[in-house]
Amino acid sequence: MAGTDTPQDPPARRPLVALLSGAGISTDSGIPDYRGPHGLWRRDPEAEKLVTYDLYMSDPEIRRRSWRMRRESPAFRAKPNAAHEAVAQLERSGTPVRVITQNVDGLHQMAGLPERKLLELHGTVRAVTCTRCHARSSMREALERVAAGEPDPACLVCGGILKSATVMFGERLDPQVLGKALGVAKAAEVFLAVGTTLQVQPAGSLAGVAAEHGARLIIVNAEPTPYDALAAEVIREPIGTALPPLLAALEQPG
């Protein structure tokens, strides 16, 4: 009958997708991982000392070596790869997305993921912070001072020791960031752990928390993880190959 409204089905609801990314998602961008077969800690066990808080604070030579390491870091030359782009595209599709990253390289943001959708568990290498007054400034400015002849640049505000705005060994994670990450893990309906061994705690436990709260857990990692048995799907293919089609499928509602 003319003029009669036809009932329409409500639009299908898209599930909340959470993604925990580790070092493996950035290896295609030229940033080596840490604990893989060719990881940094396996190739150079001494490198771990440069990011250990107590050693960094007590030994000026460790700090000088740390600044030299930062100057040479591939993170500052790296560009987002297909996996980072796929994550940003999933967010642009309208799918509810939250990304929790163990990485400090800033590549998720460079790919276009909004800051409000990202939790950086281990901080960022793109900023420095003073260990005394907690003033924050850019890593680029600090490295320019190193290049100009300051091997261990001090805070320009109070003269305190500067460090990368990353969580070093021996430091606690920011409790607010961790609390938000736990909330995301509990609320997620799909939880992907990508390029992470899930061995570093408490970050690794987020996969278990998500599974315990009913999320469909998908693990994309070259090596086995402690949470594989909880996963609905375990993918061993290269991340740059496996992740784009996997996330594209999640763009479809229902």
- Residue positions annotated with a catalytic role: 122
The residue assigned the tokens 């799907």 is 233
User: Residue 123 carries which side chain, given as an amino acid letter?
Assistant: G
242: phi then psi, degrees, rounded to nearest 5 = -80, -35
Structure tokens at 150: 């300051």
Which amino acid belongs to residue 157? Answer: V
Residues present in the chain in total: 254
Handedness of CA 70, 72, 77, 82 (dihedral sign): negative
DSSP 171-198: PPPPHHHHHHHHHHHHH-SEEEEES--S
